[in-house]
Amino acid sequence: MIKSVKIGPQVFSVIQRDPDEDGMLNDGAYGYTIDGKNLIVIAAGLNRSKQQITLLHEILHAVRMSNDGMPRPTKEDDFESWEHYFIAMYETGLLAVLKDNPKLREWLVNDQTTNK
């Protein structure tokens, strides 16, 4: 499991916790992100592919949190405007995450069951 990930100018620690000992995980959640503490928590005991999906999911939360100031389309705007809004919300941040974290990139796409 990756120990940290750079998201924009910030570094988030990535830790695993036992769902039986963490109230945020004991409702069936696989992970969560605490933006103010730069912390991503992943449930311990998940298989490799579920860890990968969960970590990417939590990274996307952190990327979104860093883009909260983006202007939003209005209710009257069409689907395409909203679609481009959501894509733009993630495109720069996700590309930066992938460029800034080569070990993360390798870990996300590697199907090996060994932890690196």
* CA dist., res. 77 & res. 99, Å (int): 33
Q: What is the pTM of this model?
A: 0.87
pLDDT tens-digit series, residues 13-35: 999 999 999 999 988 899 999 99
Q: What pLDDT digit, counting tens, does each position of 76-94 carry? A: 999 999 999 999 999 999 9
- Could you tell me which of 115, 6, 10, 99 has the C-alpha nearest to residue 52? 115
Q: Is the pLDDT of residue 63 over 70?
A: yes
- Across-strand partners of 17? 43
Q: What was the pLDDT predicted at 116? A: 44
